[in-house]
Structure 1
Amino acid sequence: MAYILLYVDDIILTASSDELHKSIITLLSSEFAMKDLGQLSYFLDIIVTHNAGGLFLSQKKYAMEIIDRAGMSSCKSSPTPVDTKPKLSATSSTPFEDPTLYRILARALQYLTFTRFDITYAVQQVCLFMHDPKDEHMQALKCILRYIQGTIDHGLHLYPSSISTLVSYIDADWVDVRVRDGLLLGIGYLLVII
């Protein structure tokens, strides 16, 4: 199994065996100019901790920066990222006084979902209203931030697996994907689990 993350001109690769790792590096090196920077510890605001069971990916520092940017560093935590009230509406409430701040925070939360799948739905809901945020939308966004405050140490654990089929997850506006020698190569933003 191998995990490959491509982001613009940066590549992260981890594999279940040294042979697979070397094989992928050789194949990628034949297509792209590459430099091995050694064991991964930090990448695009993601802290990588290596342990006996695998990897732990955390965006704790980035999450704290979002909370600070919102002026909520001393806020009380929330047990859930969403309010139990009915769904948000595009027409209710009054317009939020600083739509730029709303958009900045919503976009920052979108990136945080890379390691925080637990907030994905809530973040998607507040992002639906970035074009015309209302006060109630900002309250929903603040609920997410209060939840993050209480779960700041959460992240993504990657463990060894016996999966032998190709599963790919793609989040991109544009991706060029090619298969060569049974491996999936891509240019753009692509996460592949082999």
Structure 2
Amino acid sequence: MSRRATPRFPHSFRYGRSGQSPWPRSATIAAIAAEAGVDRRTVYRRFASREDLMAAVYGARYDAVEEAIEAARPREAPVAVALHRYVEGIIAVNRKWPVETSRMLREATIRERRQRLIDEVDTFLQRATDEGLLRSDLPPGWVATVLPPLMEHAAEDLPELSAAQAADVVADTLLRGVGTPQAR
């Protein structure tokens, strides 16, 4: 996976002064700039439109997802280690880039990029199943369906935990729910 060149965003652009995501569906550039604590002209100097701004944010988010997957080493690391690293990395991404992800799918390049990442994780989850960490008697794709919401909830609902601690909770929940007796 290659890293795309995307603009760096100050902390306030990602979270706003309130600490919450400044990216609601109806937010204008002026509202986003105000929430980030900058003048809208600052935003317009870097981005011609709200769509350009959001495309850059989505690109930066997927850069971070790619980095998290690469750091997990899903093809090389022991599966339990790779699972924890992946979950920890994605929780950190979800906290750093708390944006409405369903809107990202409108752009074809983002959709294609997302699909490559999904395929990489699906390959890893199959490896985890083949190596006995995950149960093989579950419906196809079930673990891939339940894992993302677990990570999203951990990122949002466990703010008092570090990404590593939240990953412990997610991995434990996942493995006790879909893990083999050996994984427990």
Q: Please give the TM-score of this superposition, normalised by the length of structure 1.
A: 0.28
**Which of structures 1 and 2 has the larger relative contact order (alpha carbons within 8 angstroms, sep 6+)?**
1
Between structures 1 and 2, the one with greater helix share: 2
Between structures 1 and 2, the one with greater strand share: 1
Q: Please give the TM-score of this superposition, normalised by the length of structure 2.
A: 0.29
